[in-house]
Amino acid sequence: MISVYQGLYAVLCENYPTFSNAWESARDTNGDVWEREFSERAGRLFGFTPNNLWQDAIAGYAEFCTDALRAQVFFERFGRYPATDYLEVTKSCYLDEEYMNRRYLPGQYLSHYIWPHHYKMMKRFSEVLLNAINEPINLFCEVGVGCGMYSLQTLLKRQESKGLGFDISPHSISFTQRVINAHALDTRYDAHIDDAFSRRDEFSADLVISQEVLEHLPNPDEFIEQLRMMVRPRGWGYITAAINAAHTDHIYLYRSPEEVARQLTRAGWEIIDQQIESNYPEKRVEVRPTIAGFLVQSLA
């Protein structure tokens, strides 16, 4: 019997062979353990045997990749991201059911395992950084849950934790809840279509997670400060940002990891650990898609 990875890969090769090299590279680089984990996670969400969800997931992944490539070409040509208006992006992306459910969310979910810089960030968060917080994480909040991958990793690795997820997109919330439910973790997690900051007086989190949200915002400084106000004194944060990495809904252009670090410290976070991962190492650093991730602790 073929694994879920092998089945999805076969669908990809048949319909979108242009994107098959990344799947081959991910398997060759990360090995059997990676394939088993990928198959277990993707199987719970899309099914363990061939079905229409496999076709839909692969189509969504291919379109997600195509969107990213087109936006990156635009960025490299003009030196800016295609999108500039947050309200327009919200309408055309986050509130668009067709776009989010058929393209953005399944594509984003699969990219966490297939894109090398995404997988390295997720793996270190799960296996190293969550263990580096050597005190209980009774409550964590993820702000901007996307496809729910980081909430899932936290629930799996920290058995004492309960989580709250927030997003302005009802489709992200539904997809995330589906991910959590597929792993029978719903008794420890609640997802809300809401502005998390308007509710911060209702709770005090031990850990706040914001994974590749900053570049989607017109004013990330304010967002970073609000994140700090959500945690208890000396509470923790895991905050990442995409750098020189265009996509349909990226607005704020970070040019270097140092820019992100300055914003974090300015908002009252102490940087405990940082990780920088890039894709396309052959590209000039100025146009090389990069993620910078920071484990931080509130100074207040």
Query: What are the pLDDT digits (tens) for 249-260?
Result: 999 999 999 999
Task: For the chain, give the secondary structure using H, E and C.
Answer: CCCHHHHHHHHHHHHCHHHHHHHHHHHHHHHHHHHHHHHHHHHHHHCCCCCHHHHHHHHHHHHHHHHHHHHHHHHHHHCCCCCCCHHHHHHHHHCCHHHHHHHHHHHHHHHHHHCHHHHHHHHHHHHHHHHHCCCCCCEEEEECCCCCHHHHHHHHHCCCCEEEEEECCHHHHHHHHHHHHHCCCHHHEEEEECCHHHHHHHCCEEEEEECCCHHHCCCHHHHHHHHHHHEEEEEEEEEEEEECCCCCCCCCCCCCHHHHHHHHHHCCEEEEEEEEEECCCCCCHHHCCEEEEEEEEECC
Q: Look at 86 and 195; give whichever has higher pLDDT.
A: 86
User: Residue 196: what pLDDT?
Assistant: 79
> Residue 69: its pLDDT value, please?
97
d(CA 88, CA 218): 12
In a 13 Å sphere around the CA of 180, the CA atoms on its Cβ side amount to 26
Bridge partners, 189 (sequence order): 163
Q: What is the pTM of this model?
A: 0.97
pLDDT in tens, 65-116: 999 999 999 999 999 999 999 999 999 999 999 999 999 999 999 999 999 9
pLDDT tens per residue across span 23-72: 999 999 999 999 999 999 999 999 999 999 999 999 999 999 999 999 99
The answer for residues whose C-beta is within 8 angstroms of residue 104's C-beta and 6 or more apart is 60, 64, 93, 248
Every domain of the chain and the residues it spans: 4-84, 116-298
- What's the pLDDT score for residue 200? 73
Q: What integer pLDDT is reported at residue 1 of this predicted model?
A: 84
Q: Which residue has the tokens 């009252």?
A: 268
Query: What tens digit of pLDDT does each residue of 111-158 get?
Result: 999 999 999 999 999 999 999 999 999 999 999 999 999 999 999 999
**The CATH number of domain 116-298, selected from 3.40.50.970, 3.40.50.150, 3.30.470.10, 3.40.50.1450:** 3.40.50.150
Quote the CA–CA distance of 104 and 168 in Å, as a whole number: 15
Residue 284's pLDDT band (cuts 50, 70, 90): very high
For position 54, what pLDDT does the model report?
Answer: 98
Per-residue model confidence (pLDDT) at position 64:
98
How confident is the model over 220-238, as pLDDT tens digits? 999 999 999 999 999 999 9
The per-residue pLDDT for 74 is 98
